Amino acid sequence: MQAAIRILISFILVVCIFNLGYSQKRKKKKKQSSASSSRAIVQYNDGSVFIGDIVYEGTLQMKMALTTNDTVNLNKAYIKRIKRGDKNISLFNGAKFHYTEGFFMSLQFGGMNSDDFNNETSEFTFVGGYRFNKKLAAGLGFGAAYNTTFSFGTWIDASTIPVFAYARYYPFDKKVKPFVAGRLGWGFRDANAFGSNHSGGAYFQPEIGVNFASRRRIRFTLSLGQQIQHIEGSNVNFDQFSNPVTSNFNLWFNRTIFKVGIDWK
């Protein structure tokens, strides 16, 4: 598991560096086009929210052409917050919003334990992807997973490194935004982790969840997934006469896991 975590951290750093470079490029592009792009979200102290283009901005007053085709004059003394320059959002009450387009990263952690602790599952995954529109996002993911069970008369511990394609679909554009998602890939054996002698195998996980709107780049997710992971392998135990006994196994782990996640742009 330590090797999987080291590789995971390296992967996250690479994606973060890429995302930082992309963000700097976008900021530079926005500066170059600032004369023609003046989109903003303005929140008043009383909770009123205005979204549109800034037509005029002075020291005390601001004039906006709203997305509703209305024009309003705003007193800066009553303004609580201004978010500038991003058209790719869906805005909700309280100035909270969802991004509707662009690159994103997602970090999720989840697990499950049975009542008798014979079946344990934990999973930590990272996804880097792209939002195509309000409804569809897709990307690639990587992580570290652990499953254990008592089967074939022996304990089986399986540490894997899932690598997968990822897709997420939002049927409704809401402040608390429901989604369905899916992962399809391969769970490679983590050779440096403690556990049984086993191979990797096919990895699949359907998922349902909700994404909470936020005033910042970071937003939280809660989800329920069904982790399906195939492994084959063997364990060596000893009988009452200290003779080695080899148990072969061919397993499909099929586990429900509850997950908490963070999405950020």
pLDDT digits (tens, 9 = 90+) for 140-181: 999 999 988 887 667 788 889 999 999 999 999 999 999 999
Where the chain has pLDDT below 70, the residues are: 1-37, 85-86, 94, 114-118, 152-153, 193-196, 236-245
pLDDT digits (tens, 9 = 90+) for 5-24: 555 565 566 555 555 555 55
Domains of the chain: 2-8+102-264 (2.40.160.20), 38-84 (2.30.30.100)
> Which pTM was predicted?
0.73
Contacts of 95 (CB under 8 A, 6+ apart): 41, 43, 49, 81, 83, 215
